[in-house]
Amino acid sequence: MEPYRFCPRCGAQLEHLPLSGRYRHACVQDGCGFVHWDNPLPVLAAVVEYEGKLLLARNAAWPEKMFALVTGFMERDETPELGVARELKEETNLDTVSASLIGVYEFMRKNELIIAYHVRAEGEIRLSEELVEYKLVAPEKMRIWNAGTGFAVADFLERRGLPVQFFDRATGENIPDPRRPTDFGLVSASLQYGIAQK
């Protein structure tokens, strides 16, 4: 998102200054102390198992043939498990029978953090206005897109001994598994002004 230019608390112009490891937009007016931390937002994602298949849905705003997991933002005063069940109900009318954590994934492109659940669901599918189309895919036939929620699908399939096949959304071609082990050496690089001061 665009950085704030003015303090949402007192209206003064924000300064760009080093604070807790990074440059932040912060208010230096006496007694205010507002800081735009710009932390990632948690997003809930559901790998929905329904009648033995996995449910993918297409958002009205997306190109044809682009299907994805059901996702949504957490609400205040909500556990992630209840949040993912609420999103699924709102978007597909399905009822959650169980929700178990698959993993947590970066989605830096949108400054989000994906919390992915395997959701067993039942009921009758009725899509919300947000979604225009869905498909049910046999888990062993699933092809996986190279982005945050795709990695959740890959981990889900891998743990069940099912084939993990990624594809490139732009070309439709199969691609090698893009998952990489985490390089913890990058921790120091994320401390922006700490490096600059060396």
Least gap, CB of 1 to Zn ion (angstroms): 18
| 12 vs 66 by CB, closer to Zn ion | 12
| 33 vs 178 by CB, closer to Zn ion | 33
Least gap, CB of 38 to Zn ion (angstroms): 16
Q: How far apart are CA 108 and CA 130, in angstroms?
A: 24
Q: Identify the helix (H) or strand (E) that includes residue 26.
A: strand 22-26
**CA 57 to mean position of chain CA atoms:** 15
Least gap, CB of 17 to Zn ion (angstroms): 13
| 32 vs 162 by CB, closer to Zn ion | 32
Least gap, CB of 22 to Zn ion (angstroms): 19
Closest by Cα among 116, 147, 94, 102 to 42? 116
The DSSP annotation for 75-140 comes to: PTT--HHHHHHHHHHHHH-PEEEEEEEEEEEEEGGGTEEEEEEEEEEES-----TTEEEEEEE-GG
| 20 vs 182 by CB, closer to Zn ion | 20
Note the residues at the interface with Zn ion (CB under 5 A). 7, 9-10, 12, 27, 29, 32, 34
